[in-house]
Amino acid sequence: MKTSIRLMLITALFPVLIWAQTHVVYQPTAENIFNPERGFYTMYTAQSESGQLSLTAINNIKNKKQSLMLRFYYFKKFLNSDLSQKQLDIIQNDFNTMRQGGIKCILRFAYSDNIGVADAPLSVVLRHLDQLKSLLQANADVIYVMQAGFIGAWGEWHSSTNGLDSDANKKIILTKILEVLPKTRMVQVRTPLYKQRIFSRTSPLTLSESFTETDIARVGYHNDCFISSYDDYGTYQDTLAEKNYLNQECFYVPIGAETCDQCTCSDCANAMIEMARLHLSYVHSDYYAPVISKWNANGCLPEITNRLGYRYENLEGIFSDSVKRGNALHFELKLRNTGYAVLYNKRKAVVVLRNITDTTKAYFAALPVDPRYWQSNDTTTLSFAIEVPHAIPTGNYNLYLSLPDTAAALKNNPLFAVRFANTNTWNSIMGYNNLLVIVNVNDTNGGETVSDPLSFSNGLTSIEKSENDVPNSFLIVENFPNPFNNETTIYYQISNDTHVKIKIFDSLGRELETLVDKEVTSGKHQTTFRAGKYASGIYLCVLYSENGYAISKLVYLK
């Protein structure tokens, strides 16, 4: 770690400011680290009205450094009747146990556990989904993703005894699942062809459609015969074309896998190529056992373990190490995703300033970035000025980066926070990534004098706030058109007279331009963003006033 002194000329209105900055170079780790919503999983199957989860089972999963389980429920007892209250209670208790134990689930329901074994009529499936709706809505926090299930043998959408595997019935059931599952969660179907037929479309999702919570943007894939033959035992009809489709599609929707047989295509070299190509997030750790054993014997299992899903590591950072209250902390951090995939459920990136001597004093600044766009093998630079308000006591502070869960019940649980793959940086008590810099907050010197910085606050409201959450004092209406070409109009409403600034940032958090900087009267207003000089992509519109800020996502397509 080294410290450098830099000069900054603000404008003719300000003198030259000198402040100390610390340059930190981070060291990566090859450790298998526990992280939510990714990696190898263990499957736990429950038959009707039995098999309730225990904390012992959850702890056994965590002892393998796994954060996921496939929770598989068979409803054989209810082929022609409603789910019993006992069955619903078991499911709720299981969710409670997951939450208490610190893991999430891949969720599947089915009736048939083999070819030729009966599933349920369509009317019963739809009724069961209605019964499950309240459970799914109340427990989305511990659901990573839901597999479509219900239809045919093992819920894999074939061999139905009730005709559920017709294209028409598949569409009805998938539409119903998307209706009862919260829009913040995605569904996985067994093959790419199933989704293509249901949505009458063979082209992959585009950037502008990504993470929009529309039905088509919420459907991913689970391959239950991954790298088991050229076409993965019928998973693909046109193998090359459909894998190329998944390569683009799965930037934005999750795909997971289970192996089911051995072949040369499951050898280490090809397995890792396919995982990277398809952006694999998870794999069953126990099946097919000979394939997993082969990876272990041939030495690729540790790399696969580390790279399934996302794996973020900090590379280097430049930070103010002395900040005068009222000035802004310079925050510049370069990070990389070395995993095969990304985060698919929404998270915030939050900078934390925590007093060293009184650790109860902690202050938070949510960055206007979306970690779901930190793609595999990409390097991202976060660069912001963050005001240190006068209300923050003087003293020395540690600086952290936190990616907490957004759910109220999980946001303070470190087991659900994202750990970066660096040495000596993880605070396992708080769930923070230490940026290895001490910031002195004082009344004398240091920091930047800039207009409209972000700001630290002494509560967690900044962490909890989503892009569409808006303070009572103002409202940003979605820009129109969106997506847009060349220019778009941004509508916003102010409930009281105040000074307003509206700025545009790119998806990496770099400030591009200021659209509004003036006193605004209460009422409705609009401004125009002309993007012709920028590349196609996701942009963030941030509105600042004395009461806080709000963020809206803009999608620009040339």
Domains of the chain: 2-31+312-464 (2.60.40.770), 39-285 (3.20.20.80), 474-556 (2.60.40.2550)
- Dist CA 443 CA 464 (whole Å): 30
13 pLDDT exceeds 80? no
- Dist CA 25 CA 147 (whole Å): 41
Q: What is the band of 476 on the pLDDT scale with cuts at 50, 70, 90?
A: low
> What pTM does this model have?
0.83
Q: pLDDT tens digit string along 494-534? A: 777 888 888 898 877 778 999 999 988 877 788 999 999 99
Mean pLDDT of the chain: 91
User: Kindly report the CA angle at 43 between 39 and 44, in degrees rounded to 5?
Assistant: 140
1 pLDDT exceeds 50? no
Q: What is the pLDDT of residue 462?
A: 36
- Dist CA 133 CA 183 (whole Å): 12
The answer to which of 37-41, 297-301, 355-359, 421-425 has the lowest mean pLDDT is 355-359
167 compared with 543, residue with greater pLDDT: 167
Q: What is the pLDDT of residue 471?
A: 36
Q: What is the band of 15 on the pLDDT scale with cuts at 50, 70, 90?
A: very low
What is 237-276 written as a DSSP string? Answer: SSHHHHHHHHHHHTTTS-EEE---S--GGGSHHHHHHHHH
Label the pairing between strands 432-442 and 426-427: antiparallel
What is 363-381 written as a DSSP string? Answer: EEEE-S--GGG--TT-EEE
SS3 194: helix
Contact 535, 518 (CB under 8 A): no
User: How much of the chain, in percent, has pLDDT values that exceed 90?
Assistant: 79
Q: What is the pLDDT of residue 507?
A: 74
Q: pLDDT tens digit string along 78-103? A: 999 999 999 999 999 999 999 999 99
479 compared with 152, residue with greater pLDDT: 152
Sign of CA dihedral 268, 274, 279, 284: negative
The answer, yes or no, to whether the previous bond of 556 is cis (omega within 30 of 0) is: no
Amino acid (one-letter) located at 236: Y
Q: Which residues pair with 498 in a beta bridge?
A: 520
